[in-house]
Structure 1
Amino acid sequence: MSTVDEKTSRARRGQSRAAWRRDLVGYAFLMPWLIGFVCFSLGPVLASLYLSFTKFDLLRPAQWIGADNYVRMFTADARFWQSLKVTFSYMLMEVPLKLAFALLVAVVLDKAIRGGALYRALFYIPSLLGGSVAIAVLWRQLFEGNGTLNQILLWLFNYKGPSWIANPDTAIYTLVLLAVWQFGSPMIIFLAGLRQIPQDLYEAASMDGAGTWRKFRKITLPLLAPVIFFNMVLQIIEGFKAFTPAYVVSGGTGGPIDSTLFYTLYLYQEAFSYFRMGYASALAWVLLLIIGAFTGISFLTSKYWVYYEDDPR
């Protein structure tokens, strides 16, 4: 009996060693990614957390000041609150408009139209180019005082428009329009979701006398809710991270009178214009918490309007 137990124990040890060697090979392949993650992601994140509690200007050693950066941010920094106001205003306009327009185009392209693949490619191109500096420069030239838009208005209606990007009442809308123009990415995702909806549901609804709008409201939207939710979360995160258009269009100032001072632009100014790295790190962590909070709220509220195929409700 003891001999059998010893053989069993020896066999188990051999299997454990073989499994350990297999795992070791897997970890060896993962090692480059793990090293990169620790050195270039986790390490800088933890370093920025420490710096957020310091006064640091890159020239002198970091000086520990506790929570002073956060206290100043919430109690004595008017530009911090302005940047939040501008960012939230931008988000409230950009995300719904972009998703609605992307869904509209996806519904149209979901029909069997000639050259559908070409149209999908053309509509997706702005999403590839829209975040570039070149497009932001082009947008600035389009909406400035003597820009293309005003030239068209003058030619068609004999109306000389204002400098849309220099007017604090209209500057933010030019950036919203630029973001909505980049609807290609959510459009492709919506189109993939539409292709997964069974066509027999539409046929049954047509036999019951349902019109186009009723089928869209009762079939398309409920079955597309998970895709809408996915796109919404992605666009909220991207909206909070928006930087290049505001930087280029405003010349890096967030003007006029801080009307395009996005949160990320203000963070950039604090870090690389004024070299207040400690304060910029605190701003970055607040932004991380804001994005996390909005993402968490989105997931918590999704149970009231997002339905999946295996949902028992």
Structure 2
Amino acid sequence: MTRSVFFKSAFLMLTLGSTLAEAQLLKPRMDLLGGDAYFRRFVYASAGEYQIDGHRLTITEKLGVATRFMLTMPNSNIDQMIQALNHMGGYGNDPQYANQMKTFLQKNQSKINSTSGFVFHDSFNAYTITAKNNGYVVTLERHQFQNYSFPNTSFTTAAPNARLNIHIFNDFQCAQCRSMWNNQLPNWIKEASKLGVGIKMYHAPQEHNEHAFKMAVVSECAGRQGKFWDFAHLAFSDWSWVRQTPEQVENWISGAANTLKLNAATFAACRKDAATETLVKNQMFSSESLFPGNMPAIYVGGFQVQNPTDWNEISLLIQLAK
């Protein structure tokens, strides 16, 4: 089995969640062929296949959307291949991305020349590039992280013992996370329950959010007493603590603990326990290894969700992952 290399560029770090919102996979085939100027040039050859100037594009579909591209490009140079790759991946003509991709591929030229080709991925896409006929064969699929990529968590809802899960990395001081929790999550829990799909929650406090790590630790300790979801609801409903000093946040936490009727001694001991912070940090490191970009980061069966507010996309990924 060929191991996939992670392409993590500075450009990707700046553009996840914006440029990649235009990614071509999981769109209806005709949206791709009619929407992107690069692909509008291709003409129908046979079922699922299109061509131009000796180049052949094969589109595999499932559930009415494109799930795999394969572009055969004989007699092509690396710049032509990268141009095609960028359009297939949804990056368009951005020269900064193209330059970084070229440097990355040139360093791996020996793998591209090998029989199995060069396999790599970013957060959303999995690529295989093979040199052939003085050109290249490029394939693109949605990247699927394996189950071992996600850490253990005690906080599962909807269908707790499900084989298929929605994994959510969360930051209590993130405005988008708060919006997701208050506006989308209640309905997602209902819909996931109907489908027999679990929802697992993870900590991913961002360094620039002053109180986020502390609140993650506190939520973990509330969870030890069966009150994680209740604490999270309080933390996202009353967001006054976000603008408070560290001392005022401690007063807010004490009030929340009283409201939830937590055992004070057990709660305090948990907060002082280094193992609690280690657990939160391990989940943070897991989120960084997945390279989710913006919070919240949501995965369905290992596929990262591009629009973290769109149940339609989540529902489609559930069907594809089954």
Short-chain TM bin: under 0.3
Q: Larger RCO: Structure 1 or Structure 2 (Cα < 8 Å, ≥ 6 residues apart)?
A: 1
Task: Indicate the structure with greater helix content.
Answer: 1
Larger strand percent: 2
Larger radius of gyration: 1
TM-score by length of structure 2 reads: 0.20
